Amino acid sequence: MAAPQSRAAGGQWHKHLLLSPPLAFFAAFALFPLGFTIYVSLSNWSITGEHRFIGFGNYATILASDTFRQSFLNTVIFAVVTVLLQYVLGLTLALLVYRSTRGQSALRLLLLVPMMFTPVVVGFVWKTMFDPSYGPISWLFDLVGLPQVPWFSEQLPAMTAIVIADVWQWTPFMFLILFAALRSLPTAPLEAAMVDGASGRRLLFDHLLPMLLPASMTAILLRSIEAFKLFDVVYLMTGGGPGVKTSTVTLSAYFTGLRSGDLGTAAAMTTMLLIVVLIATLVLLRLLIWAGRRRSRTDDAALQVERDDVADLTDTVDSPVTTEVR
């Protein structure tokens, strides 16, 4: 008995040895920066390097700050609105392209173009588009007789412009995931529903959306994590203005840390954002697990439908033969 146990222990040691390099890499490049950021957030670290431990003083400061509360609210609004719009538009485009019989490859390539631009380019282009003096959107409003919109001098128009820019860039991401999921769906439940006379609306809400649920939750999870970190487009289009009406947590941390030199408060802001993103991620992961289980049940039902169809076909074929023999 000693020899097998010794070999098993040696195998476990070998596995741990193989895992050591990636674990060391993860600790060096992920855990250490995270731990250092938390440490800085608990001090009054300044850009000059002087610091001392102050506990949760920075967190108390930012929670009492109107600027941080406004930035946090804007971050949540941007994340929820942009991800929701991107999902709806991405799903719509995926369904339209999936149903098209010609030019699917060209359509897919065309729809993916916005995602290829860097956020800096996107912010610059859309700031030019919304410019009240020479932007094409202002020119179009003049052409059709609509009043000019103060895109960058009032909160709601400025936030709308940022949302449009972000949705334009990242809707292709949703489209890509949902279109790939559509192509992998089993056809038996959909064909059975069509034979039963299901309308397009019932086909969408009773069959397609439940079957797409795991892919939908995956896309929403990935985009939500990125949306909470929105920085480039806001910085280039509005700079957080007017005032701090469109500022985000990442933008506030940038101004606080690099412009004001208060690295401790900036680290506290990013740590607070990390906590919120982790909570949102855990909730979405739970929903993703639930969606995966539901999809598994749907696939089992689809397999059963296929088996029943095969059985019915077999009975239909065998029935005349049996009658003739008799």
pLDDT in tens, 105-130: 888 888 888 989 998 999 999 999 99
Is 186 a domain residue?
yes
Q: Is 316 helix (H, G, I), strand (E, B) or coil?
A: helix
What would you measure as the largest C-alpha separation in the chain, in angstroms?
A: 100
The boundaries of the domain holding residue 92 are 62-253
Is 140 a domain residue?
yes
Is 17 a domain residue?
no
Q: Is the pTM of this model over 0.85?
A: no
Q: Domain with 218 in it: what CATH number?
A: 1.10.3720.10
Contact 240, 247 (CB under 8 A): yes
Q: Is 42 helix (H, G, I), strand (E, B) or coil?
A: coil
Is 323 a domain residue?
no
| Tokens at 143, concatenated | 């052409």
Is 72 a domain residue?
yes
Is 295 a domain residue?
no
pLDDT of residue 201: 74
**Number of other residues whose CB lies within 10 A of the CB of residue 264:** 24
Is 216 a domain residue?
yes
| CA 325 centroid distance within chain | 63
| Domain count of the fold of the chain | 1
pLDDT in tens, 53-98: 888 989 999 999 999 999 999 999 999 999 999 999 999 999 988 8
For residue 125, give the H/E element and its range: helix 119-129
Q: Is 230 helix (H, G, I), strand (E, B) or coil?
A: coil
Is 4 a domain residue?
no
